[in-house]
Structure 1
Amino acid sequence: MSWDTIFLLANCWAFAGWIALAFLPRGPKILAAILYAGVFLLCLAYTVMIVGFLTGGIDAGGSGGGDFTTLAGVMKLFDSPGGATMGWIHYLAFDLFTGLWIARDADNKGFGRIVQFPFLFLTLMVGPVGLLAWLIVRERRARAQAKR
């Protein structure tokens, strides 16, 4: 399977998780499906690929020689189809997990779906920005609930 195909499949899989998170009822089965069929499978795919890459079983398609210790080393890792795809799947898994946490936290704190949507969208598009915005907005309600 080509890196382009893996990239496309991972994107579609993650997007399906985001659609479910944003628009489906959030019962236990839906939340479990997003966690295990969404986040877990993205994490599993990433783990298989990164272990294969690090042990030499998978060719990332680049010139090799990258590492995690320097900016130049990380840039070299991302300068290949496999490295970029693995990095992207890493982002997809963590952003979807973060979106799931935001949605569950917002539900528990009584925020409606309309209020949640911009934070979920920001997390989908620019993960840490969405998380930061949610952490700021949730603070007052979290403190109020803690006093009860």
Structure 2
Amino acid sequence: MWDNLFAAANILALVMWAALIFLPRWPALLSAALYLGVGLLCFTYTVSLAGVLTGFFVSSGGNSSGMGFGSIEGIRSIFATDAGVTIGWIHYLAFDLFVGIWIARDADAKAFGRLLQAPILFATFLAGPLGLLLWLIIRERRARAGGVRSNLRVPR
């Protein structure tokens, strides 16, 4: 079960990331990435976590004794199970994709070109906090230089 869930979550995330990086940013695409991508990953995470915590799903592999969030050993015990690795990975996929969507929307609103966005989004896909840090530095530098441009119109 956990292998199949892991593979399905990876495929979903890869499809959403590829669409976010390579396809035009139609509103429907951004909504699909948010609700079908992030939303489905969050739903899967929640159901899987609840299933393991209630004993409805079996957490195969590893030793369940000593699991917890209060120590490195406790975290190691969680990730020593197939369920722990899969649920943890889905957590990463959901949050990294959410951050990628925010970066894409923010970059579009500030009129950053797609060629600049692509490596930042790719970095976010590979190592979420790295991509987010790069984006925060780049957007701040442009703002300080007075070069913030926006496609958004302010109603008068």
TM bucket, shorter chain:
over 0.9
Query: Which position in structure 2 is the counterpart of 1:72?
Result: 73
| Contact 1:109–1:141 (CA under 8 A) maintained in structure 2 | no
Query: Which position in structure 2 is the counterpart of 1:5?
Result: 4
Runs of 4+ in 1 over 4 A off after TM superposition: none
Q: CA deviation at 1:51?
A: 1.1
Greater share of residues in helix: 1
Which amino acid letter does the alignment assign opposite residue 57 of structure 1?
A: F
Compute the TM-score of the two structures, normalised by the length of structure 1.
0.93
- 1:113-137 Cα distance to aligned partner (Å, 9 max, x none): 1000111010000111111111001
> Structure 2 CA distance, aligned partners of 1:107 and 1:12?
26
Compute the TM-score of the two structures, normalised by the length of structure 2.
0.89
SS of alignment partner, residue 127 of structure 2:
helix
Equivalence map 1:43-82=2 (5 Å): 43-61=42-60, 62-65=62-65, 66-82=67-83
Equivalence map 1:83-98=2 (5 Å): 83-98=84-99
Which amino acid letter does the alignment assign opposite residue 101 of structure 2?
A: L
- 1:27-46 Cα distance to aligned partner (Å, 9 max, x none): 21110000001000000000
> Structure 2 CA distance, aligned partners of 1:104 and 1:60?
38
Q: CA deviation at 1:84?
A: 0.3
Query: Which position in structure 2 is the counterpart of 1:38?
Result: 37
Q: CA deviation at 1:140?
A: 2.7
Query: Which position in structure 1 is the counterpart of 2:152?
Result: none
> Structure 1 CA distance, aligned partners of 2:96 and 2:17?
10
> Structure 2 CA distance, aligned partners of 1:141 and 1:21?
23
Where does the alignment leave 5 or more consecutive residues of structure 2 unmatched?
150-156
Change (3 A) 1:57 1:142: farther
| Contact 1:67–1:74 (CA under 8 A) maintained in structure 2 | yes
Query: Which position in structure 2 is the counterpart of 1:134?
Result: 135
Where does the alignment leave 5 or more consecutive residues of structure 1 unmatched?
none
| Contact 1:109–1:142 (CA under 8 A) maintained in structure 2 | no
Give the count of matched residue pairs. Answer: 145
Bigger CA radius of gyration: 2
Q: CA deviation at 1:142?
A: 3.7
- 1:62-121 Cα distance to aligned partner (Å, 9 max, x none): 321211111110110000111101100000000000100110111011111100011101
Which amino acid letter does the alignment assign opposite residue 14 of structure 2?
A: F
> Structure 2 CA distance, aligned partners of 1:68 and 1:56?
19
Q: Does 1:25 align with 2:24?
A: yes
